[in-house]
């Protein structure tokens, strides 16, 4: 399975008065604009058969919607396993339950970098990974979707994705 990880675009700063529930915090106008450009650069890198799965949190859903539009795909599927409050092991469970050959996961930090670390290095190794907002990475699981079984195919910061358009 090929797995493309996408960190949500730039969101508003945390503000308990405006968004008592952090899951409701949206993208900023600048975050939207930057990711629209990044999504156009990322779209050609998505396999034709890739399904887009997203965290149910607003900022991730908004990011996924822009990716869906740029990649001309069906609507993104919300998956509670990708919520910012979930441990990375839930991502492995989610992937094992999917039958597609390729999926794109739109989520949060530190979940994405922790999943990437475990997928590449196993549960005992902790790789230090900087996953920028609006950036993307791709790993491939050749056989089993288990810790330490992934191969890193590429990792692109948002600035480079915007330049690819």
What's the pLDDT tens digit per position in 34-86? 999 999 999 999 999 999 999 999 999 999 999 999 999 889 999 999 999 89
Q: How many domains does the chain have?
A: 1
Domain that holds residue 35: 2-164
pTM, whole model, 2 decimals? 0.95
How many residues are listed for the chain in this entry?
165
Q: What is the pLDDT of residue 125?
A: 80
CA angle 80, 83, 86 (to 5 degrees): 95
Q: How does pLDDT run across 2-48, given as a tens digit for each residue?
A: 999 999 999 999 999 999 999 999 999 999 999 999 999 999 999 99
- Model confidence over 92-119: pLDDT tens digits? 999 999 999 999 999 999 999 999 999 9
In the prediction, which pLDDT does 126 show? 84
Residue 158 pLDDT > 80:
yes
* pLDDT value of position 88: 86
Mean pLDDT in residue range 136-153 = 96
Is 80 exceeded by the pLDDT of residue 165? no
Residue 147 is predicted with a pLDDT of: 95
Residue 68 belongs to a domain with what CATH number? 3.40.50.1240
Residue 97 Ramachandran class (φ > 0 left, ψ -120 to 50 alpha, else beta): alpha
Instruction: Give the pLDDT confidence score for residue 83 in this predicted structure.
Output: 95
């Amino acid at each position: 399975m090929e797995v493309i990880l996408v960190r949500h675009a730039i969101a508003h700063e945390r503000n308990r008065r405006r968004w008592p529930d952090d899951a409701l915090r949206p993208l900023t106008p600048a975050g939207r604009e930057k990711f629209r450009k990044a999504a156009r650069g990322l779209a050609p890198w998505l396999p034709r058969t890739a399904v887009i799965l997203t965290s149910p949190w607003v900022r991730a859903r908004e990011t996924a919607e822009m990716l869906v539009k740029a990649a001309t795909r069906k609507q993104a599927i919300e998956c509670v396993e990708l919520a910012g409050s979930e441990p990375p092991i839930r991502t492995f469970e989610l992937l094992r339950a999917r039958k597609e050959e390729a999926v794109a996961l739109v989520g949060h930090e530190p979940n994405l970098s922790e999943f990437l670390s475990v997928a590449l290095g196993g549960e005992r190794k902790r790789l230090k990974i900087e996953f920028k907002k609006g950036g993307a990475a791709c790993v491939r699981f050749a056989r089993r979707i288990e810790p330490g079984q992934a191969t890193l195919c590429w990792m692109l910061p948002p600035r480079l994705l915007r330049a690819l358009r």
